[in-house]
Amino acid sequence: MSKKRRRFTREFKISVINELDAGKPLGQLSREHNLHPTLISRWKREYNRDPESAFRGNGKPAESKVAELERLVGQLYAENAFLKKALERLRKERR
């Protein structure tokens, strides 16, 4: 029986680091998330070295580009809805 290697998202790693920075003990974090304490320490070291480029993934720029564009579309959709509501309010006030 072979074990499949687990992969963790950047957001998950950063959330674990933030919990550690908030004062949660390393042992407790490792038990809660079923991670080895050394792995959490390595993530923290890597993040402290360069927060912007830490945990960038394994070289799949197309997927990250698609995710970035999807995020941008969502943001623009929300801004558009907000502006439509604001325009409607202004029209009502003018009457």
Residue pair 17/47 in contact (Cβ under 8 Å)? The answer is yes
Q: Tell me whether residue 45 is exposed, middle or buried, using C-beta atoms within 10 angstroms of its C-beta: 0 to 12, 13 to 18, 19 or more.
A: exposed
Distance CA 87, CA 10 (A): 38
At residue 7 the predicted structure's pLDDT band, cuts being 50, 70 and 90, is confident
Q: What is the pLDDT of residues 83-95, one digit of tens each?
A: 999 999 999 999 8
Q: What is the pLDDT of residues 41-86, one digit of tens each?
A: 999 999 999 888 888 766 566 667 788 889 999 999 999 999 999 9
Q: What is the pLDDT of residues 14-29, one digit of tens each?
A: 999 999 999 999 999 9
